[in-house]
A and B are shown apart, each in its own frame.
Chain A
Amino acid sequence: MNRRRVLEWVVGAVATVIGVAIAVPAAAFLTFPARRRTVTGGEAPEDVARLDALPEGKPVRVSVKAHQRRDAWTAFSDVTLGGCWLVRAGDRVRAMSTVCPHAGCAVDWDDKGKAFVCPCHDSRFSLDGERQSGPSPRPLDTLDVEVKDGRVAVAWRRFKTATTKKEPV
């Protein structure tokens, strides 16, 4: 090998070392959010209503707020996570996300037609969330409910839309 080839190898080797020395910490730094949850809080059921304030068999819309929520560096309190419909039957309460499983619009209650109606693409659901008509691939998404000491708490979740299976995002 002549001097020129050797020098070329030296430059290549040194450049590679420098590149790796910079790329490794840079990659570790940049991929941090892929390895760690950066938004936390609101997973547990949050208080939304008094049981005796809910009428029998008529849906009531409430918004679910996270008492504490951590978004990267900020610690929020009382952050609105989303809305849900509550339907009371005696001591039991059914909670359904207001997010339409079809394309994510907010489902409304049509009191005359006694059905949930999506204003975007006209999907219709019965009082217990079963799909009656329209493009929605599945029933309304139910949410976990806790009824304790006369208070109703709901664990709000967002689910993938446009799929037949209900999967958390």
Chain B
Amino acid sequence: MDRKWGRVLGAALAFALLLQAVTGMLMASFYAPSATTAWAAVAYIQEEVTLGWFVRGLHSMGASITVVLLGLHLVQTIASGTYATAPRRNWFLGLVAMSLVLAFALTGYLLPWDQKGYWATQVATSLLGETPLVGDYLRRVVQGGGDYGNLTLTHFYALHTMLLPALTATLVVIHIRWARRTQAWWPEDAWRDAIACAAVVAVGYALVVRAHGAPLEAPADPSSQYDARPEWYFLPLFQMLKYLPGKLETIGALGLPLVVGAVLVFLPMASRRTAFVAVAAIGIGAGGLALIAKISDAHNEPYQKGRARAEADARRALALAKKGVPPAGGMAVYDNDPAERARKLFADKCVGCHVLDDEPAAGKGNGAADPRRANGDEKGPLLTGWMSRAWLTDFLKQPDAPKYFGNTKKLHGMKPVKAEGEELRALVEWIYAQGGGKFDQALADRGHEIYKRDDCDDCHSDDGKTEGVDGAPNFAGHASAEWIEKLIRDGGLPTLFSDHNEMPKLGKEKLSDDDVAALATLIEGQRS
């Protein structure tokens, strides 16, 4: 490399750090470091603030660019022989500054409080906690207590935006002053440095635009399954941890960086050839490990599925965040989803008398039914698959079974229908058709004949006006969302269960119209 152009790497690196300071300060004016606000604030920067995605993307891409320039600067210092001729203290200072840059990356990763940052940082603080003797204490100090929370964010934020910048800036200024220039900087070197800085901006902007900024994942969910990966420059360490079981892990995670550090510390004493071989060995080793990590992830099907799920979760969370994030914090953004809210309302108002097992919200849990829901002696009918054809078919044969109206006190006495086979199917189709949705008209018409032939209409009506006998509901609009809303508000209406109703009324003071609509949608959804 041309010596004159080689020297611009230092300037480009310093400039990249400066750019990080600028984008960091910009984001700091829109960010709030707490467990309840961090994700929401970053989502706001990303989605609402003018060019927020760009500024945040530039900060994230800037970190990668800084690490790359750091590596190049190191290699160039060795290749040019400067590492041996320059004052030794400046070599050491550079190494300290380098570790500070990596500390920046580590602390910044957590700040969005998204899945990626949360889980990757868990690994980092766990490893820190395994440091012999002082580990647990150190971990508690750094993360502001035993658990992740508000103090973890305020601590990481203070480190990332105050302590580390102050230290790094000081070291970099001294580092530059100590770097001996053989000729006047102005303007002979300055113009090359200026071009290099312009190149940093150009490359950074191009990469950010191409990548559409930096991804923000779903809000941190401590209960979720998440396959954490660090940023690319920590991948070698990540990969190495896979090979080191138990105690060896601690030694590897803390020891190997120390070994690499020691090699770099003693480098100025080595010949240029030895130094070059050492750095090349570190580079190839790290690059190789990172490559293995990438390749094994590419062939890891569960990981790829997890990625797809994480991306879908992120899209869903960001879309819901457009309505604003409830004060409870990032995870509460899912409450903006009417279906999610309906499930919570159901758990709050309906569980105890009814059972409704369905798929939990995307990305949460493993798909198993919530074991808290059923206890076997519910007073009201089963709502899982409620008024679907399968539910109706089973119900019509045993209306007084405990899972239907066996445990109600007043709603009793409906006889199992006599119709079988095709006739039963037709009857079910007619009842199903009353609530709307797709149905077979001919089959439903046949069902209506059976409804009359078998004297169902002795108790039931279907005109939307007539009160049934002994609480037999009128079939007009039966099980439609609108019908369910009426039932939730007041099941004692003459066309519903009239004076046989046992379900508590949920008036406007207990449930808003929106809430009733959300619940009705959830329950109506069981039909299909």
Contact A75:B194 (CB < 8 A) given known A22-B22, A26-B22, A32-B50: no
A window 1-51: CB within 8 A of B: 4, 7-8, 10-11, 14-15, 17-18, 21-22, 25-26, 28-32, 35
Q: Among A53-61, A66-74, A135-143, which stretch is in contact with chain B?
A: A66-74
A130 to chain B, nearest CB (A): 39
With a cutoff of 8 Å between Cβ atoms, the chain B residues found around residue A32 in the complex are 48-50, 52
Given A26-B26, A73-B324: A11 in contact with B190 (beta carbons within 8 A): yes
How far in angstroms is the closest Cβ of chain A from B188?
Answer: 7
From A11, A25, A30, A35, B194 is in contact (CB under 8 Å) with A11
A residues less than 8 Å from B26 (CB atoms):
26, 29-30
Any chain A CB within 8 A of the CB of B19?
A: yes
CB of B522 within 8 Å of the partner chain: no
Residues of B within 8 A of A76 (CB): 326-327
Interface mask (B124-157 → A, CB under 8 Å = 1, otherwise 0): 0000000000000000000000000000000000
Q: Is the contact region of chain A dominated by helix, strand, or loop, or is it mixed? A: helix
**Contact B201 A75, beta carbon cutoff 8 Å:** no
Which of B51, B54, B201, B324 contacts A70, CB < 8 Å?
B324
Closest residue on chain A to residue B19 by CB atoms:
A22
Judge if B111 is at the interface, Cβ distance under 8 Å: no
Q: How many residues of B contact A (CB 8 A)?
A: 34
B323 within 8 A of A: yes
> Between A and B, how many residue pairs show CB distances below 8 Å?
80
Pairwise interchain contact A22-B201, C-beta atoms closer than 8 A: yes
Interface size on A, residues (CB 8 A): 26
A8 touches B325 (CB 8 A): no
**A71: nearest chain-B partner, CB-CB:** B324
**B43 CB-CB contact with A under 8 Å:** yes
CA distance A48 to B102 in the complex (A): 56
Closest 4 pairs between A and B when the two form their complex, measured CB to CB: A75-B324, A73-B40, A73-B44, A7-B187
Instruction: Specify which chain B residues have a CB less than 8 angstroms from the CB of A30 in the assembled complex.
Output: 26, 29
Contact present for B197 and A18 (CB under 8 Å): yes
10 further interface pairs, Cβ-Cβ under 8 Å (given A25-B51, A74-B37):
A7-B190, A10-B191, A14-B194, A18-B197, A18-B198, A26-B22, A29-B49, A32-B48, A74-B325, A75-B326
B198 & A14 in contact (Cβ 8 Å cutoff):
yes
A131 to B334, CA, bound (A): 51
Interchain CB contact under 8 A, A11 and B50? no
| Complex-state Cα separation, A76 to B335, whole angstroms | 13
Which of chain B's residues have a CB closer than 8 A to the CB of A15?
194
Q: Which residues of B contact A18 (CB under 8 A)?
A: 194, 197-198, 201
- Given the complex of chains A and B, what is the CA–CA distance between A30 and B52 in angstroms? 9
A7 to chain B, nearest CB (A): 4
Given contacts A14-B198, A18-B201, contact A28 B50 (CB under 8 A): yes
Q: B205: CB under 8 A from chain A?
A: yes
Asked whether A29 lies within 8 Å of B52 as measured between CB atoms, the reply is: yes
Which one of A11, A26, A73, A74 has the greatest number of beta carbons of chain B within 10 Å? A73
> Secondary structure at chain B's binding surface: helix, strand, loop or mixed?
helix
Which B residues are CB-close (under 8 A) to A74?
Answer: 37, 40, 324-327
**B-side contacts of A28, CB under 8 Å:** 50-51
Binary contact readout B178-192 vs A (1 if CB under 8 angstroms, 0 otherwise): 000000000110110
Give the residues in chain A near B52, CB-CB below 8 Å. 29, 32
Cα distance A29–B57 in the bound complex, in angstroms: 13
The answer to whether A29 touches B55, judged by C-beta atoms less than 8 angstroms apart, is yes
Q: Tell me the bound Cα distance from A74 to B40 in angstroms.
A: 7
Q: Which residues of B contact A31 (CB under 8 A)?
A: 50
User: Which residues does chain A contribute within 8 Å of B22, judged by CB atoms?
Assistant: 22, 26
Nearest to B44 among chain A residues (CB) is A73
CB distance from B336 to the nearest CB of A (A): 8
In the complex, what residues of B have CB within 8 A of residue A10's CB?
187, 191, 194
Interface code B305-336, partner A: CB below 8 Å = 1, 0 otherwise?
Answer: 00000000000000001011111000000001
The closest CB in chain A to the CB of B332 belongs to A75
Q: Does B195 contact A (CB under 8 A)?
A: yes
Q: Can you report 23 residue pairs joining A to B where beta carbons are below 8 Å apart?
A: A10-B191, A10-B194, A11-B190, A11-B194, A14-B198, A18-B194, A18-B197, A21-B201, A25-B51, A26-B55, A29-B54, A32-B50, A35-B50, A73-B37, A73-B324, A73-B325, A74-B40, A74-B326, A74-B327, A75-B325, A75-B327, A76-B326, A76-B327
A25 to B326 Cα, complex, angstroms = 30
Encode B51-78 as 1/0 by CB contact (under 8 A) with A: 1101100000000000000000000000
Question: From residue A12, how far is it (CB to closest CB) to chain B in Å?
Answer: 9
Given contacts A26-B55, A28-B51, A30-B29, contact A73 B321 (CB under 8 A): yes
Shortest C-beta distance, A41 to chain B (Å), equals 9
Indicate if the CB atoms of A25 and B55 lie closer than 8 Å.
yes
B16-58: which residues lie under 8 A (CB-CB) from chain A? 19, 22, 26, 29-30, 37, 40-41, 43-44, 48-52, 54-55
